[in-house]
Structure 1
């Protein structure tokens, strides 16, 4: 075999190897995208449902904010009221526990928000003191009754005043879910009272990571 033919065969072999590597890389990339799509599409039965939307509220510092104020973050949102004796503190503490266990590269992408359904008593000052009991990064939102009604409608939240027996005070009945929202205010998951902090941490971590890879 002439030297020229040997060189030609070597070049052809090298070209075939390079082509095989390109094909393998493309297959790996496609598989990665398929895996991401699977996580995002099957991670929650709530994706694509009509939950969440625009809102205008007042934060615990008395500053007017809207959903656009949190557009760079994923959100963990809980609706309740500061006079709630047990359920709200329990669920907020669970949300904080889940948040604190998030991986360090994901935690800065997530914002915890507590929305009051009792604006009559939950002023910005009250909300400021309340959310600080749980975590310094938690944001408390309140506002006018109309603003609260509007965000309740967007998030399909139930709440109603219930007077005590003497009719001298009231409590508030309300639905109890932790909403996991995307950066563009689309529902990603809805955690019930039976959801553990570990489940929330795991689901949020997986879905944020998957969406960041897309």
Structure 2
């Protein structure tokens, strides 16, 4: 390689570096989420969004709640139950803390939903009483076991329906959260356990409107 070729090569590399840094700065200034930082915060985005099945459940007020009502806001779905001895109260407490630390605009555009995997005991009244302890704005959903199982399967959240004939039974379930976009489709997951410090930094960028 001649001296001129080497000079041209170095100049091209420098220009590419400057352009790369400039583009990164522009994207960052627009608040777009960085995929690496999202993963570090436990946020796993799907390569393609998933459509949820058409189902009807019941909310904590005893009203019919169609799954396609989960639109117009971002939603975090947690599949748990009110008699859970450990994972559920800890996760809901974390979600309460997370919401309190988010910027007002982000907080106002985020819905937290507990989908019961124990419809035998989780009546609407029980859900409402339980969720009010954490945050009165949290939504609770219960319904037929088949409908809940179908929704859980659609968003890849495993749980094993319990033997309800046993006294004080527990339900084995995942602690991951499901991320739904404002269009009502699944965008990804948040892995358990939650890292609120990092989620507070990443969720606003993830949820920011795209120009």
Q: Given the two structures, how large is their TM-score scaled by the length of structure 1?
A: 0.74
Kept after mapping to 1: 8 A contact 2:32/2:206: no
Residue 103 of structure 1 pairs with residue 103 of structure 2: yes
Kept after mapping to 2: 8 A contact 1:56/1:66: yes
Provide the aligned length of Structure 1 versus Structure 2.
Answer: 184
CA distance in 2, matches of 1:64, 1:78: 19
Kept after mapping to 2: 8 A contact 1:96/1:134: yes
| Corresponding position of 2:80 | 80
CA RMSD of the aligned region, Å? 2.9
Query: Aligned runs of 1:126-145 on 2, under 5 Å?
Result: 126-145=126-145
| Corresponding position of 1:39 | 33
Deviation at 1:32, TM superposition (A): 4.6
Residue 213 of structure 1 pairs with residue 210 of structure 2: yes
CA distance in 1, matches of 2:136, 2:166: 36
Deviation at 1:207, TM superposition (A): 0.8
When residues 109 and 77 of structure 1 are mapped into structure 2, their CA distance, relative to the original with a 3 A threshold, is: same
- 3-state DSSP class of the match of 2:119? coil
Kept after mapping to 1: 8 A contact 2:155/2:186: no
Query: Aligned runs of 1:58-77 on 2, under 5 Å?
Result: 58-77=58-77
Deviation at 1:70, TM superposition (A): 2.7
The 4+ residue runs of structure 1 with deviation greater than 3 A are 31-38, 40-45, 49-52, 161-164, 166-169, 186-189
Q: Given the two structures, how large is their TM-score scaled by the length of structure 2?
A: 0.75
Kept after mapping to 2: 8 A contact 1:62/1:124: yes
Moved more, 37-46 or 125-134: 37-46
Kept after mapping to 1: 8 A contact 2:59/2:65: yes
- 3-state DSSP class of the match of 2:65? strand
CA distance in 2, matches of 1:46, 1:119: 29
Unpaired segments ≥5 residues, structure 2 = 1-21
Moved more, 108-117 or 167-176: 167-176
Residue 197 of structure 1 pairs with residue 191 of structure 2: no
CA distance in 2, matches of 1:52, 1:101: 30
When residues 88 and 75 of structure 1 are mapped into structure 2, their CA distance, relative to the original with a 3 A threshold, is: same
| Corresponding position of 1:93 | 93
